[in-house]
Amino acid sequence: MSEAVSALNGATDEGFVRIAECGLTGMITLRGDLGAAKLKKAVKALCGVEPPARGHVAMADHTAVAWMSPDEFLLMVPYAQADELCAQLDQALAGEHALAVNVSDARAVFRLSGGDAVREVIAKLCPVDMTASAFGPGQFRRTRLAQIPAAIWMPEEGVMQIVCFRSVAQYAFDLLKNAATPGSEVGLFS
Amino acid sequence: MSTRLANGGRLLNRGKPLEFTFNGKHLRGVEGDTLASALLANDQMLVGRSFKYHRPRGIVASGGEEPNALVGLGENGRFEPNQRVTTTELFDGLTCASQNHWPSLEFDVGAVNAKLSRFLPAGFYYKMFIHPRPFWKHIYEPIIRQSAGLGKAPRDRDQDSYEHFYAFYDVVVIGGGVAGLQAARAAGAAGAKVLLMEQTPHWGGRAPVDGGTVDGQPVDKFVDEIVSELETMANVTLRTRMMGAGVYDHGYMLGYERLNDHRPDAAGPRHRLWRIRAAQIVTATGAIERPLSFAGNDIPGVMLASAVRDYVVNYGVSIGDRTVIVTNNDDAYRTAITLKKQGLEVPVILDARASGGGALADEARALGIRIENGKAIAKVKGGKRVEGVAICLQAGEGAVLEEVKCDAIAMSGGWSPVVHLWSHCGGKLLWDDEKAMFRPDVDNPPTGADGARFVLPAGAADGEMHLPRVLENANAAGRAAAQAAGHASKPGTLPVGETQDEAPITPVWMMPQGAGIKLRMKAWLDYQNDVKVSDVQLAAREGFESVEHAKRYTTLGMATDQGKLSNINGLAILSDTLGQAIPQTGTTTFRPPYTPISLASIAGPARDATFQPLRRTPMHGWHEANGAYFEPVGAWRRPYCFQKAGESITDAVQREVKATRDSLGLLDASTLGKIIVKGPDAGRFLDMLYTNMMSNLKPGRCRYGLMCNENGFLMDDGVVARLDDDTFLCHTTTGGADSIHAHMEEWLQTEWWDWKVYTANVTEQYAQIAVVGPKARKVLEKLTDDDVSADALSFMGWKDITLAGITARAYRISFSGELSYEVAVPASQGRALWDALLAAGKEFGVTPYGTEALHIMRAEKGFIMIGDETDGTVIPQDLGLDWAISKKKEDYLGKRAQERSHMTDPTRWKLVGLQTLDGSTLPDGAYATADGTNANGQRNVQGRVTSSYHSPTLGRGIAMGLVLNGPARMGDVLDFPKVDGTVIKAKIVDPIFYDKDGEKQNV
């Protein structure tokens, strides 16, 4: 297998927060009855976490499960294992009406780090309340980043992750870079 | 003359001088000046020419309501026209120039219009320029455009940056005067999350200038204390230089923050547009003083009384040595007292009220100022400057009693609450007869989705003009807003304001009350658009009785200041002329923004590289590096062709087609839509979506399908592959990927919600490469051990293979008529496969081709293209695609529509091939003419070209078109007139021009 290359090949930028394209992340779209015991069990077995509630993401060391819609989870797994885990899910859900599909290559993931200021960068681009009391680690929000669909979550305080479609990775990176330009701090969240 | 006083100027830092230029003249100001105060400190009274008559104009106001003093600010990449000098903070090196004059501000040729003003009344343009009709476009309009207008549009690219910011609050308080501060304190104390914004750099509004005390100390002391207190509250955010620009539905509002206008070389964005959601909004936006309508009220040196006071107190600038005060209320006496105490002269106060003023008048009289009750200004003496006033009786017609020399006039016609933001989202207004003002009707507020109020006015914006009442009212508004946002509180201690009682105002809409036409023609209502009392009266006489009509006829209130000074006076004149009460006339509509905001702030991040999202395939970088001439396809950029050095676009396209037909071509087909459809009901679902049968497709096989909307019109097409019993992969057009996925979800979620089907859009998961041409199999065989022979992977089959070490799925489908494989691999390995195919294909002369070659090859084969052969009005039957419409199926989307009489009409134009007799290429979209003309005198038509290309394969032009009875008229010759008047003759032929039997693809 030739080497897989993420959309921006790990590009980084240092503004008033650090921006990095995370490289390839395994992602599986799982659609089904999120309340069904069999599906919950399969998700837990695969990712090692209890499936999240609406608007949330459940995170473990190398995996995460995000609530996307009333019938959809996004499973984040190591990239190299995505196909295999997708097949495992299919097997575990045999007989259930569900759809598991590897979408790892369809996405680009960014990581912002640099304290509370990461909230400001997002607040310049996404119509989401970035106050700590309104959004924090454990929450997952599908939104828009300027003109593109995106989702955001915080693996921990001071760190923000963003996922968008691969084809618009450069647009997303440019937006984030501009929003984090030194001198453009808003000073609202620190 | 206006000048800097030796002392005073509470906002100034006199120790810090600043230099600036006005019309190239070097002038000096100090830190804390606005451009307006600095110009006045340099005796620059004349700052511009008016819009229509080019009258000399000076500064009238001290805030955002300023109509006259607009300048072109900055240079080159920082030039911006129509900037109000009153809201521009002075900085070192500022450059500005006055507008709307030629050749110079002092000597302006256009001022001849003023001499002709008798012939340029309201509606003049409408009446004069209507005939003869062609004259408007070619003669009148260009001349009028040249002579009218304010600033010039910038020529250079804006060199600054701008951004948006999304913020969420319980309570947003707009306006940082004493009312806003107190409202924010009350809401903050209740525990609400509060944003307080103030458009100027200073807190406190105009209360520190107007005087009075709060809790026994001067107002500015109170302001300092309350600001310090608010700064310590973690739940309160304070922002200066931020204007509440607009209030919209559902508590949405815009805050316009001017970060760097006053320090253009600082880092960071120039403007930031805050897009705010607020549970409750408090408008503490204050009030604006009204001018009085007397003859010559636009001569430089005539100013609002409050502005005269502001310049003295805030900036240590006097407008003149001798200032006549003219008023109909007590507030203007404050100006007289301020001037007198500064040692300046006030020759007379003309109080239009017969009964005169109250406590403030007594104070003025005690200072020795002459006060004349019941008197008015008959007219102002002077041209480019005030030289004196002619005094008359307010009750009379303007007979001059006396002339008084003066060099400034301070006028006050009363105060109008700033109700704009209250009104933006539907807040109603009440006419308060006693105070002679429109103020918010608090029983009819803007309401949210729940029907509850979400905007409250506070202080002067609520019509409270008296300091103690302002504070009480604002406190109540702050508490009520917090409570409505879920933060109830006990009443706290209220600061107690004290100020003089005032005698009631007497409304004065025209001065003197019986002014004759000569005076009325010189009494300005709207300074910026040059609308006079006589114009509004003319409009009323000519039947423009609705205030909205009168506004548009006269242009009253239509300038960049949106009539902040003129609207109330204008509608009062209109009411008076119509003989009706003011509330019957009503106001025009208040629309956002409150004052103009920069277009760049609205665009925010949407400029340059981030103007719009540009979608790139994994091979985009290779395309860019290899001569791709791109065309936009949706948000994608796809190579139209790849140009070699020195090669024309046409030549590149022709080369790409030939190379592909002769040997081997590669197409980046990654943009094609790919949607997974899975579930026990997937087959049934696709049978409804496509016109043909999909449920009987075998796993491992592909089928071309057509998708119609409910009206039967063809909207998308593509190849469906069955992956397993439960799962299909639907290919869509590039442009259709998102909309077809949404179309599927809509039907699943709204109509067939009980069908067991899930979909997923996997368009971007795969890079897809079409390997096309006689050598296609050979190149694949070089890169795989899997069997891709005709038997193992037959036409319209698919197979999982390993290609160049990459897990791939090869679909043996062809849109070119050649032997062709479309190979899909994970996107992150797309570039690797592309490179591998280029290397392996080298011996076959592998040629990457673009969308135009793709189009030509499909047209040679007679394949339709969504968007060329279809335009939203074409059904599959028009295109001879009956073979792809199942007769067996009971139903599919569009079936019933296609049975309607118009759809089955045999005279619908149908698809045919068109072959020019001379071998030339038909213009795309050309019409085939028929005999006779239609009801509009146009030639009848009998068909049109839908696709047209020069075919390098056949060496001549080929085309497809929709033609009346086309398929039955093979061999007929049609006329296609060109725009140059010549006609191309083309024969109706079969649309398949090349390899009709499909021998090339079936090998």
Give the CATH number for residue B561: 1.10.10.1100
Structural domain boundaries enclosing B344: 291-413
Predicted confidence (pLDDT) per residue in B909-958, tens digit: 999 999 999 999 999 999 999 999 999 999 999 999 999 999 999 999 99
pLDDT at A89: 97
Inside any domain, residue B388: yes
Whether B142 has a pLDDT exceeding 60, the answer reads: yes
A17 and A47 in a single domain? The answer is no
CB contact under 8 A, B764 and A107: yes
Q: What amino acid occupies position A135? A: F
B405 and B269 in a single domain? The answer is no
Average pLDDT on B532-559 reads 92
CB contact under 8 A, A105 and B612: no
Instruction: Give the separation between CA A53 and CA B813, rounded to whole angstroms.
Output: 44
- Residue B112 pLDDT grade (very low, low, confident, very high; cuts 50, 70, 90): low
Number of domains in chain B: 7
Please indicate if any CB of chain A lies within 8 Å of the CB of B756: yes
Whether A1 has a pLDDT exceeding 60, the answer reads: no
pLDDT at B746: 97
> For residue B981, what are the CA distances in angstroms to B529, B595, B916, B977, B978?
49, 53, 17, 6, 5
pLDDT at B148: 60
Inside any domain, residue B129: yes
B669 DSSP 8-state letter: -
B400 and B427 in a single domain? The answer is no
Which parts of chain A are beta strand (E)? Answer: 12-14, 18-21, 26-31, 57-59, 64-69, 72-77, 99-102, 107-113, 140-145, 148-156, 159-165
Instruction: Give the separation between CA B11 and CA B38, rounded to whole angstroms.
Output: 12
Number of A–B residue contacts, CB under 8 Å: 148
Which parts of B436-527 are beta strand (E)? Answer: 437-440, 455-457, 497-498, 524-526
B880 and B814 in a single domain? The answer is no
- Indicate the residue of A102, A124, A128 with minimum beta-carbon distance to B163: A124
Count of other CB atoms within 10 angstroms of residue A39: 22
pLDDT at B147: 62
Least confident of B131-135, B340-344, B780-784, B969-973: B131-135
Whether B237 has a pLDDT exceeding 90, the answer reads: yes
Provide the percentage of residues in chain B whose pLDDT is more than 90. 91
A112 and A131 in a single domain? The answer is yes
Instruction: Give the separation between CA B180 and CA B187, rounded to whole angstroms.
Output: 10
Token pair, residue B764, equals 């971007």
Inside any domain, residue A45: yes
| Among B197, B231, B250, B610, the residue to mutate for chain A (most A Cβ within 10 A) | B610
B178 and B311 in a single domain? The answer is no
Which residue, among B895, B952, B281, has the nearest Cα to B659 in the 3D structure?
A: B952
Inside any domain, residue A188: no
pLDDT at A163: 98
Inside any domain, residue A90: yes
Minimum CA–CA partner of B616 in chain A: A167
Predicted confidence (pLDDT) per residue in B705-755, tens digit: 999 999 999 999 999 999 999 999 999 999 999 999 999 999 999 999 999
CB contact under 8 A, B758 and A99: yes
Which residue, among B787, B782, B800, has the nearest Cα to B836 in the 3D structure?
A: B782
| Interacting residues of B590 by C-beta distance below 8 A, sequence separation 6+ | B419, B420, B423, B424
Number of domains in chain A: 2
In degrees and rounded to multiples of 5, residue B450 shows phi and psi of -90, 5
Count of other CB atoms within 10 angstroms of residue A46: 21
| Among B160, B161, B165, the residue to mutate for chain A (most A Cβ within 10 A) | B165
CB contact under 8 A, A1 and B836: no
Residue B825: give its domain's CATH number: 3.30.1360.120
pLDDT at B889: 93
Whether B594 has a pLDDT exceeding 90, the answer reads: yes
A187 DSSP 8-state letter: -
What 3-state class would DSSP assign to A100? strand
- Residue B244 pLDDT grade (very low, low, confident, very high; cuts 50, 70, 90): very high
Chain A residue numbers with beta carbons less than 8 Å from the beta carbon of B826 are 4, 104-105
Which residue, among B961, B989, B992, has the nearest Cα to B976 in the 3D structure?
A: B961
Which residues pair with residue B986 across a beta bridge? B916, B974
Token pair, residue B16, equals 């810090």
CB contact under 8 A, A166 and B764: yes
Burial environment of residue B560 by CB neighbours within 10 A (0 to 12, 13 to 18, 19 or more): middle
Inside any domain, residue B139: yes
Inside any domain, residue B283: yes
- Indicate the residue of A99, A148, A185 with minimum beta-carbon distance to B760: A99
Inside any domain, residue A189: no
Tokens 């000046």: give the residue.
Answer: B33
CB contact under 8 A, B605 and A131: no
Tokens 């078109």: give the residue.
Answer: B961
In degrees and rounded to multiples of 5, residue A165 shows phi and psi of -75, 150
Please indicate if any CB of chain A lies within 8 Å of the CB of B766: yes
> For residue B309, what are the CA distances in angstroms to A24, A169, B411, B412?
66, 57, 11, 12
CB proximity under 8 Å: B 820-839 to A: 826-829, 831-833, 836
Minimum CA–CA partner of B756 in chain A: A97
Predicted confidence (pLDDT) per residue in B89-100, tens digit: 999 999 999 987
Residue B176: give its domain's CATH number: 3.50.50.60
Domain boundary among B413, B440, B468: B413
B103 and B11 in a single domain? The answer is yes
pLDDT at B92: 97
Instruction: Give the separation between CA A72 and CA A33, rounded to whole angstroms.
Output: 8
Instruction: Give the separation between CA B494 and CA B594, rounded to whole angstroms.
Output: 31
| Interacting residues of B889 by C-beta distance below 8 A, sequence separation 6+ | B687, B693, B895
Inside any domain, residue A61: yes
Domain boundary among B814, B839, B857: B857
A18 and A41 in a single domain? The answer is no
- Indicate the residue of A107, A129, A182 with minimum beta-carbon distance to B267: A182
CB contact under 8 A, A128 and B166: yes
B641 and B558 in a single domain? The answer is no
A48 and A94 in a single domain? The answer is yes
Inside any domain, residue A1: no
pLDDT at A135: 98
| Interacting residues of A3 by C-beta distance below 8 A, sequence separation 6+ | B829, B832
Chain A residue numbers with beta carbons less than 8 Å from the beta carbon of B805 are 1-2
B215 and B311 in a single domain? The answer is no
Instruction: Please give, rounded to a whole number of angstroms, the shortest distance from the CA of A177 to a CA of chain B.
Output: 11
Minimum CA–CA partner of A126 in chain B: B166
Instruction: Give the separation between CA B436 and CA B425, rounded to whole angstroms.
Output: 24
A120 and A151 in a single domain? The answer is yes
pLDDT at B152: 86
Which residue, among B337, B357, B348, has the nearest Cα to B401 in the 3D structure?
A: B348
Query: Which contiguous run of DSSP H or E holds residue B656?
Result: helix B649-662
Structural domain boundaries enclosing A32: 26-105
Burial environment of residue B698 by CB neighbours within 10 A (0 to 12, 13 to 18, 19 or more): exposed
pLDDT at B839: 98
Q: What is the dihedral of CA A112, A113, A117, A118, to 10 degrees?
A: 30
pLDDT at B961: 98
| Interacting residues of B74 by C-beta distance below 8 A, sequence separation 6+ | B80, B94, B95, B96, B264
Token pair, residue B310, equals 């502001």
Instruction: Give the separation between CA B963 and CA A34, rounded to whole angstroms.
Output: 54
Domain boundary among A105, A126, A160: A105
Inside any domain, residue B497: no
Inside any domain, residue B607: no
Using the Cα atoms of residue A21, residue A24, residue A25 and residue A30 in order, give the sign of their dihedral.
Answer: positive
Instruction: Give the separation between CA B232 and CA B213, rounded to whole angstroms.
Output: 24
Count of other CB atoms within 10 angstroms of residue B143: 10
pLDDT at B947: 97
- Residue B106 pLDDT grade (very low, low, confident, very high; cuts 50, 70, 90): confident
| Interacting residues of B682 by C-beta distance below 8 A, sequence separation 6+ | B726, B727, B728, B757
pLDDT at B134: 76
Minimum CA–CA partner of A130 in chain B: B167
What 3-state class would DSSP assign to B357? coil
Which residues pair with residue B373 across a beta bridge? B351
Instruction: Give the separation between CA B665 and CA B771, rounded to whole angstroms.
Output: 6
Inside any domain, residue B499: no
What 3-state class would DSSP assign to B365? helix
Strands B302-304 vs B271-283: parallel, antiparallel or unpaired? unpaired
B312 and B435 in a single domain? The answer is no
pLDDT at A100: 98
Average pLDDT on B751-776 reads 98
CB contact under 8 A, A99 and B676: yes
Instruction: Please give, rounded to a whole number of angstroms, the shortest distance from the CA of B379 to a CA of chain A.
Output: 52
Residue B981 — left, alpha, or beta (φ > 0 → left; ψ -120 to 50 → alpha)? Answer: left
- Indicate the residue of A32, A127, A148 with minimum beta-carbon distance to B613: A148
pLDDT at B103: 66
Please indicate if any CB of chain A lies within 8 Å of the CB of B804: yes
Q: Does residue B512 have a cis peptide bond before it, meaning omega lies within 30 degrees of 0?
A: yes
CB contact under 8 A, B610 and A99: no
pLDDT at B110: 67
CB proximity under 8 Å: B 664-683 to A: 676, 678-680
A38 and A78 in a single domain? The answer is yes
Please indicate if any CB of chain A lies within 8 Å of the CB of B883: no
Inside any domain, residue B510: no
A39 and A85 in a single domain? The answer is yes
pLDDT at B89: 98
| Among A166, A168, A190, the residue to mutate for chain B (most B Cβ within 10 A) | A166
Instruction: Give the separation between CA B417 and CA B465, rounded to whole angstroms.
Output: 9
Whether B476 has a pLDDT exceeding 60, the answer reads: yes
Average pLDDT on B76-86 reads 95
What 3-state class would DSSP assign to B461? helix
Burial environment of residue B167 by CB neighbours within 10 A (0 to 12, 13 to 18, 19 or more): buried
pLDDT at B132: 75
Please indicate if any CB of chain A lies within 8 Å of the CB of B762: yes
Token pair, residue B778, equals 């050979």
A90 and A136 in a single domain? The answer is no
Whether B145 has a pLDDT exceeding 70, the answer reads: no
A90 and A110 in a single domain? The answer is no
Please indicate if any CB of chain B lies within 8 Å of the CB of A90: no
Please indicate if any CB of chain B lies within 8 Å of the CB of A80: no
Count of other CB atoms within 10 angstroms of residue B608: 10
Instruction: Please give, rounded to a whole number of angstroms, the shortest distance from the CA of A121 to a CA of chain B.
Output: 9
Instruction: Please give, rounded to a whole number of angstroms, the shortest distance from the CA of B763 to a CA of chain A.
Output: 7
B207 and B186 in a single domain? The answer is yes
Chain B residue numbers with beta carbons less than 8 Å from the beta carbon of A179 are 163, 605
A123 and A172 in a single domain? The answer is yes
CB proximity under 8 Å: A 148-177 to B: 148, 165-171, 174-175
- Indicate the residue of A166, A169, A174 with minimum beta-carbon distance to B610: A174
Domain boundary among A105, A126, A144: A105
Instruction: Give the separation between CA B898 and CA B882, rounded to whole angstroms.
Output: 12
The overall average pLDDT reported for chain A is: 96
A138 and A157 in a single domain? The answer is yes
Predicted confidence (pLDDT) per residue in A70-119, tens digit: 999 999 999 999 999 999 999 999 999 999 999 999 999 999 999 999 99
- Residue B664 pLDDT grade (very low, low, confident, very high; cuts 50, 70, 90): very high
Please indicate if any CB of chain A lies within 8 Å of the CB of B154: no
pLDDT at B51: 79
Whether B115 has a pLDDT exceeding 70, the answer reads: no
| Among B487, B765, B768, B803, the residue to mutate for chain A (most A Cβ within 10 A) | B765
B913 and B961 in a single domain? The answer is yes
Whether B814 has a pLDDT exceeding 60, the answer reads: yes
C-alpha atoms less than 13 angstroms from C-alpha of B360 in its C-beta half-sphere: 24
B153 and B12 in a single domain? The answer is yes
B959, B947 Cβ separation under 8 angstroms:
yes
B539 and B390 in a single domain? The answer is no
Domain boundary among A74, A89, A105: A105
Residue A138: give its domain's CATH number: 3.30.1360.120
> For residue B805, what are the CA distances in angstroms to B784, B792, B836?
8, 20, 10
- Residue B123 pLDDT grade (very low, low, confident, very high; cuts 50, 70, 90): confident
Q: What amino acid occupies position B176? A: G
pLDDT at B139: 73
Q: What is the ipTM of this complex?
A: 0.97
Inside any domain, residue A138: yes
- Residue B883 pLDDT grade (very low, low, confident, very high; cuts 50, 70, 90): very high
Residue A61: give its domain's CATH number: 3.30.70.1520
Predicted confidence (pLDDT) per residue in B407-445, tens digit: 999 999 999 999 999 999 999 999 999 999 999 999 999
Write out the DSSP string of B426-440.
T--EEEETTTTEEEE
A100 and A110 in a single domain? The answer is no
| Interacting residues of B852 by C-beta distance below 8 A, sequence separation 6+ | B640, B641, B653, B656
Whether B587 has a pLDDT exceeding 70, the answer reads: yes
Chain B residue numbers with beta carbons less than 8 Å from the beta carbon of A148 are 613
pLDDT at B235: 97
In B881-890, which positions are buried (b, 16+ CB within 10 angstroms) versus exposed (e)?
beebbbeebe
Q: What amino acid occupies position B992? A: I
Domain boundary among B381, B413, B445: B413
Predicted confidence (pLDDT) per residue in B256-283, tens digit: 999 999 999 999 999 999 999 999 999 9
- Indicate the residue of A99, A107, A126 with minimum beta-carbon distance to B678: A99
pLDDT at A2: 66
Instruction: Give the separation between CA A46 and CA B297, rounded to whole angstroms.
Output: 81
Using the Cα atoms of residue B792, residue B795, residue B797 and residue B799 in order, give the sign of their dihedral.
Answer: positive
Inside any domain, residue A6: no
CB contact under 8 A, B680 and A97: yes
- Indicate the residue of B166, B610, B758 with minimum beta-carbon distance to A127: B166
